[in-house]
Chains A and B, each alone.
Chain A
Amino acid sequence: MGQYIQKSSMRSKRVPLAVLLGTMFFSPGLAMAEVYPEELVDLSAGALITQGTKLLKSEKYDDAVVYFKEYLVRMESTDTDRVRSMKQRVRLRIATILSHLEDYQGSIEMLEAYTQELPLARPREAYKLLTINYNEAKDYERCIQAAQIALTQPEPKGLVEKEKKEENFEDLSKDELGGLSARQLKRYAEIEAEAAKEGRIDLSQNLNASDKAEPEYTLDELILLNMLLAESCTKLEDWETSVKPYKFVVEYAMQEDRKGYATMQLVNSLINLERFEEVKEFILQLCETDARYDIRVNMALMKAASSLLEHKEFDSALMLYRMILPRTEMIAYQERKMNEIRQEVGLPDVVVTIEKNESGRADTVFGYKNSGLSAIIKAQEAAGKLPKKPMELILLEESVGELANLAPYEDDVLYRIGQLYASAGRPWEAVEALDAVVARDPDGERGQRAFAESLMVYGTSLKQYDLVEERALDYLAKNKSGLGPRMVTHALISSYQSQDNWEAVKGLLPIIKGFEPSDDKAVVQYECELYYLQAIADLMLMEYAEARKGFWYVLAQYDKSHQQQNSLYWHAMSGLFLQEYEGALKELTKFAADFPRSQYVPSVLFHSGICLFALERYDEAEQKYTEVIENYPEDRVYSDACSMRADLFASKGNEWLEKAQEGYEEAIRTAQTDKQDSYAVFQMAAMFEMEERYDEIIEVVNAYLARQDKKADVAKAAYWIGKTKLAQGLIDEAVAEYRKAIVRYGDDVQQDGVDMIITELVNVSARLDEKQLAKLEESLLRSVENAKNETLRLRLLVLLAKINDEELELGKELLTQVTDLKSAPPPVLAIICDASFAENNYSNAEEILKLFKTKFEDSDFMRSAYKLRGYDLYSQKEYDETLKLIKETQELYGTDSDAVWAQIMRGDIQFNEKELDAARETYRAVLNVRGWRGEPYAEANYKLGLTEEAAGEYGAAHDWFQRTYVQYKGYDGGNWAADAYLGSARSLSALGKENDSRNTYRAMLFDKYVNTLPQADVAKKALGAEEVAEINAFIESGMQTNIVVSLEAEVPQK
């Protein structure tokens, strides 16, 4: 910008100042005699003026100032009207000279003095000069003030006029006469008075003959003042004030380049004011001018385009970027223009060529078109025979010089255009531009950035995944240091992310670790991002422990990074997913305190509620949900909070059901996701079911189906509708509805509603008569035959197996048939688990449980997976992990009949770890649950016997063993009883009761439930062959034993 102003003032600098000043304020009557430098003190005041003026004419400006300043000093005490006026003119003259000499401060001081005194004959000139000086001195605030005064009220205001002092010319001293005679001065005064009478001169201000009324500003001056005002405003970023003066220049400037520059600057102000509609309007105007060939305009275009790009004003930014011309095109234009001027003034045409000089700076050579002429013309030029170059031509030549020395900008423009197309959503144009940048500068920073950004577009927008992977891996194999490899890895991760291929993201970790370390800020930031994405990948893969470590790594290695807040949040959330509720709660609480304005706060509060709920601190959980509900009604978690609080209300008892219903209804009303809606709907349905409000179940489920249409969880809805029909006794209708839903939605592995229907249909089948059951089986078999989808086929097979009690057989078949467990729905996975368990095959245990946890978290079929994995871990003696799993199982399934294994396994671990008191308690707890009666009781009794035996409490041990073989001999083919016999015999022996011990063995061999089992061999061995033969004979004869072993010590029963 400064260059531009200089350019406008440069013209005047080439004109001798004296020419400009000559007409300003010296009366023609003041003859300027040739006076040579003398001692100033020897000169009269008049001679000082004369000498100064003479020096001015000779362009000896510095010397002239000395004389004029001396005049002011000399006349300081003289205060007549004429001298006051003279002093003012001298001040203005000095200011003009100093400004010309680039002593802006000196000029300003003189002008400030000038504008504070009367008479102020040339206020417009003074304020114009002040505006220019302030601008040059970079005092933009004062420049604005001066320009505003100049444009609005240049005439003096508020200055006190001094008392008029008329002169008696006859009494004047030599100095006061100023080189004129008294008569001459008198005559000039009379002329002035006459002119004033005729209204030609304002007497109040002009006492001297030369103080003619100052004309208004010319249009050129107004343009200059407006331009300076606008530019100063721009410097001070006062965009609003800059708009009006820029618009003035745009409207009135005649020169295309000035108009264009002002338009560009106006666009810049409007961008900063975010008045984008006007921006567009002025850009279109700019397109129509030749100003676009001005290098300064082009530079300004780049700046403005970049701002527009940042503001996502893609259309306007594109317009600007497209207007930026390559250097060659601009030079060609300037050459044409130069030759037009040259032809006008009779100069030969030139061709612009650019060469580098020794210092590497570009030299512009204006070679003549006919090279043969060159020497001749140069000689003519040197001899002064050619016409003088006009100023316009000189300026053009200078601007071409500037252009030649400008740093290359074309690649940057191309790069920006590529970015613009990428952001705006024109992907093919984006990759074309970015790839062109890469081709021009493959190893430079811009080229590498362009390469990575191009890959990003290929991956995320054009889905050319293979291309991205191939190019990126090839590049990464060769590049390990700097920003490029990090950016490329980031682009590759984005591509994998678009494909949901998180395993591939994790596969990049070794590459990331192999990068050469760097302290560069941008490199560090990218690296932090890459490690953060690694942790995110772990999170997506449900590897919560790894994710937690990853987020911690980011926090520890990249202190206060851009991902700090995100990492803290996800670190806490990973803890929650790992069910480490206490720790997660602490972290979430700290997060909310440290980042009270974070976007995560509602989610943090909600998940704090989840932790508190899991920790059974229900009141506090309710408070957290309430906090979310009251403060963040627009947030994503609001609906969840409503549902969770409603769950809490529903669990409080009947008097809270109304409030719970209100909560679910609010959750449904405000749901932002399908899941939020369906959760609230089906929870509410479950609540209605408890109160047998079947009509309301139908109502709420039908409303849900209508609302969600295609997106509805139709299978689950069908489950609830069927369930209601069953409750109303409409069994055939319910069965038909269920079968229809299974066939229709069973092909989607994620439709857990179908799995609920399968369970329900199995239950219903027990209530069907033979005919109904046959009909159902027939229709199911038909559906199996017609099923084209494997998931549906497997589901139907499982349903049939469950109805016919053939699950184990089917499970064994599926164990070998189902190779891709990921496509298997929960019932199939469960049946595979059961079959694996039966075969002690734990190879799939971990994978299946993980599948459940990641894909079917709410499925009831997950219990089989827990059991299999529990036995897997136990068999590996991973007791800590086993206990964790047992805890999870018991939290989920409590005292359900099929969860007893967890309680017994806990006892087994305690027993193995010699924690006998704990084991005793654990086994005994089994006997307190009525739902676990049967085989679990047998096992618990036997293991209590073992525990007492290990504790040396043989009497008690015998008692538990005896209870087992007496009460539970039918379970597990008599195995518990057989083992118990042996345990009993051992205990009696340990008590020294050998006879009783032998009697126990005898009783065992008489016991038909156990006497053929392998354990009987122990008894046979202890008794000896003879006695065994005797017993066998006894049994064969049909006799029964009456052997009873009893002890005094009874085992206390709870």
Chain B
Amino acid sequence: MNRSLVILTCCALSGVLYAAKPAASEPQPTPVEVALTAIEAGNLNKAEKQLSAIESPAGKLYVQASVERAKGEQAKAIKTLSKLVVNYPNDADWIAKADYMCAEVYCDLGMSKAADVTAKQVEALYPGTELAQKAEVLRAKIENDVEKKAKGQKQD
């Protein structure tokens, strides 16, 4: 095969391959995205199936915690999140989200003080972000819940 033929063949092959790929304007969702969307839709099985495809260890833990939380297994979720927070503190993609979810799960577990502390740290560590705003709202909710509980106890 002469040199020009080789080049032509390569171009042709690449064209075939290119044609087989999806359009560039429609990127495939990542396994994490698929999993999180599935959790939102309540399809936990689908989310769990994605776990093995997630490359980022922190991302995998986040999705796993999300699944556990959605299943109502809050104690498991907080342990999984703790693994993420402790072992991947420099993972900029997941650490802030994990911190925030920790606050939420503590709240679910009725550990208001830990929830408040964690939400406060989200505000302090990620100022000006959407998560910080959400943490502020969560803290207001926690405060409200605590007050309500105190009032309820009084009335009892």
Contacts and interface: CB of A to CB of B under 8 A. Distances in A.
B117 to A, nearest CB: 4
Nearest to A322: B89
Contact of A315 (B79, B82, B102, B124): B124
B86 A315 contact: no
Nearest to A436: B86
A280 interface: yes
A375 to B, nearest CB: 34
Contacts, number: 61
Interface in A183-217: none
A432 B79 contact: yes
Contacts of A432: 79, 82-83, 85-86
Nearest to A461: B114
A244 B107 CA distance: 43
Contact of B154 (A314, A414, A417, A709): A709
A429 B154 contact: no
Nearest to B105: A428
Interface stretch (A419-427, A467-475, A784-792, A990-998): A419-427
A322 B90 contact: yes
Contacts of B89: 321-322, 417
A284 interface: yes
Contacts of B118: 426
Interface in B101-147: 102, 106, 111, 113-114, 117-118, 120-121, 124-125, 127
A284 B117 contact: no
A821 interface: no
Contacts of A433: 86
Interface string A281-302: 0001000000000000000000
16 contacts: A314-B117, A314-B121, A315-B120, A316-B124, A321-B89, A322-B95, A329-B90, A414-B86, A424-B121, A428-B79, A428-B82, A428-B102, A429-B82, A429-B102, A431-B82, A709-B154
Given A315-B125, A425-B114, 8 more contacts: A280-B124, A315-B121, A417-B86, A425-B113, A427-B111, A428-B81, A428-B114, A710-B154
A44 B156 CA distance: 107
B90 A318 contact: no
Contacts of B111: 427
B31 to A, nearest CB: 25
> Nearest 7 pairs between A and B by C-beta?
A432-B82, A315-B124, A322-B89, A425-B117, A428-B82, A433-B86, A432-B86
A319 interface: yes
Given A325-B90, A414-B86, A432-B79, A426 B117 contact: yes
Nearest to A710: B154
A428 B124 CA distance: 20
B87 interface: yes
A971 to B, nearest CB: 54
B25 interface: no
Interface of B: 78-79, 81-83, 85-87, 89-90, 95, 102, 106, 111, 113-114, 117-118, 120-121, 124-125, 127, 153-154, 156
A412 to B, nearest CB: 14
B107 to A, nearest CB: 13
A318 B82 contact: no
Contacts of B153: 710
Q: Is the interface of A mostly helix, strand, loop or mixed?
A: helix
Interface of A: 280, 284, 314-316, 318-319, 321-323, 325, 329, 414, 417-418, 424-429, 431-433, 436, 461, 709-710
Contacts of A428: 78-79, 81-82, 102, 114
Nearest to B87: A436
A414 B153 CA distance: 40
B93 to A, nearest CB: 14
A431 B86 CA distance: 10
Given A322-B95, A710-B154, A424 B85 contact: no
A334 to B, nearest CB: 16
A583 to B, nearest CB: 44
Interface centre among A323, A426, A427 (most CB of B within 10 A): A426
A323 B83 CA distance: 17
Contacts of A414: 86
Contacts of B85: 429, 432
A428 B68 CA distance: 16
Given A325-B90, A709-B154, A319 B125 contact: yes
Contacts of B117: 314, 424-426
A329 B89 CA distance: 13
B84 to A, nearest CB: 9
B79 A318 contact: no
A290 to B, nearest CB: 13
A426 B105 CA distance: 12
A432 B79 CA distance: 8
A461 B78 CA distance: 14
Given A315-B125, A432-B83, A710-B154, A427 B114 contact: yes
A318 B87 contact: no
Interface centre among B113, B120, B125 (most CB of A within 10 A): B125
B88 to A, nearest CB: 10
Nearest to B122: A315
A428 to B, nearest CB: 4
B86 A429 contact: yes
A96 B46 CA distance: 73
A318 B114 CA distance: 15
A315 B156 CA distance: 37
Contacts of A329: 90
Nearest to A427: B114
Contacts of A321: 89
Nearest to A314: B121
Nearest to A316: B124
Given A428-B79, A710-B153, A318 B125 contact: yes
A360 B127 CA distance: 45
Nearest to A711: B154
B70 to A, nearest CB: 19
Contacts of A325: 90
A284 B124 CA distance: 10
Contacts of A425: 113-114, 117
Contacts of A429: 82, 85-86, 102
A319 B122 CA distance: 11
A316 B153 CA distance: 36
A281 to B, nearest CB: 10
B111 to A, nearest CB: 8
A284 B111 CA distance: 29
Contacts of B154: 709-710
Contacts of B124: 280, 315-316, 319
A325 B90 CA distance: 8
Contacts of A316: 124
Contacts of B156: 710
B102 A284 contact: no
Contacts of B114: 425-428, 461
B156 to A, nearest CB: 8
Interface centre among A319, A322, A329, A425 (most CB of B within 10 A): A425
Contacts of B127: 284
A858 B1 CA distance: 110
A709 B124 CA distance: 39
Interface centre among B82, B120, B121 (most CB of A within 10 A): B82
Contacts of A426: 102, 106, 114, 117-118, 121
B121 A318 contact: yes
Contacts of A280: 124
A301 to B, nearest CB: 12
A443 B33 CA distance: 43
A461 B117 CA distance: 14
A325 B120 CA distance: 24
Contacts of A427: 111, 114
A319 B87 CA distance: 15
Contacts of B95: 322
Contacts of B86: 414, 417-418, 429, 432-433, 436
B126 to A, nearest CB: 10
